[in-house]
């Protein structure tokens, strides 16, 4: 594997050794930047799909990579920032809910990550699909009581779930590779995600 020329610079090495807390902060900020990019792309896609009355909810993409590949502190911090990004445009009864749901999903996936083959793309996509299904289901059960006619919402929610799962299955390998490459370009060592 080729090492970036700036990483072999002795000044960089001495700075990293003097500031051991700089790498977790850099890791968190790089992950947060990729989460912000994903949120922007999803917001644009939802804007384009509004005429079709379809809403994409790829929440698992905000959780799974950080929970599977990153250390506990920086991975959880990035996941919580992703929850705050999602909550930034949420209506009042939902504000803070994504933060809690993302933290719970991160804790579950982080606890199970030793049993998941992290280098297998299919296994990671299946984990992302399961996490997305669980997050969508919990959010749906939270939203439906606030609707004027709750019984009519389940058909649309089912369509949104199917479209969201399809998008997660297609986008997960690309997005996880983007996050891994961004961490590599930032000079942050990863824990073994290929």
Compute the average pLDDT of residues 66-90: 91
* pLDDT at position 194 over 50: no
Structure-token match 């992703």, residue found: 82
Check pLDDT > 70 for residue 44. Answer: yes
Contact assessment for residue 132 and residue 168, using Cβ atoms and an 8 Å cutoff: yes
Predicted TM-score of the model (pTM):
0.83
Q: What is the pLDDT of residues 84-116, one digit of tens each?
A: 998 888 776 778 899 999 999 999 999 999 999
Rounded Cα distance, 74 and 25, in Å: 7
Per 3-state DSSP, what percentage of the chain is helix, strand, and coil (rounded to 5)?
80, 0, 20
Q: How confident is the model at residue 94, as a pLDDT? A: 76
The Cα 156–Cα 179 span in angstroms is 31
Model pLDDT, residue 24: 78
At 85, list the tokens: 């990004």
The torsion angle over the Cα atoms of residues 5, 10, 15 and 20, rounded to 10 degrees, is 80
pLDDT score at 1: 53
Contacts of 189 (CB under 8 A, 6+ apart): 23
Please report which confidence band the pLDDT of residue 191 belongs to, taking 50, 70 and 90 as the band edges. Answer: very low
């Amino acid at each position: 594997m080729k090492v970036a020329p700036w990483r072999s610079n002795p000044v960089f090495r001495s700075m990293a050794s003097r500031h051991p807390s700089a790498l977790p902060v850099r890791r968190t900020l790089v992950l947060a930047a990729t989460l912000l990019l994903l949120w922007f792309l999803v917001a644009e896609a939802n804007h384009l799909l509004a005429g079709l009355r379809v809403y994409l909810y790829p929440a698992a993409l905000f959780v799974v990579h950080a929970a599977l590949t990153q250390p506990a502190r920086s991975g959880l911090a990035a996941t919580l920032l992703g929850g705050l990004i999602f909550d930034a445009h949420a209506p009042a009864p939902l504000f803070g809910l994504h933060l809690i749901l993302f933290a719970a999903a991160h804790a579950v996936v982080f606890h199970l990550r030793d049993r998941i083959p992290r280098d297998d793309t299919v296994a990671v996509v299946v984990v992302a699909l399961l996490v997305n299904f669980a997050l969508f289901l919990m959010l749906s059960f939270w939203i439906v009581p606030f609707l004027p006619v709750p019984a009519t919402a389940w058909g649309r929610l089912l369509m949104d779930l199917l479209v969201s799962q399809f998008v997660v299955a297609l986008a997960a390998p690309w997005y996880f590779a983007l996050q891994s490459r961004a961490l590599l370009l930032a000079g942050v060592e990863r824990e073994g995600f290929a």
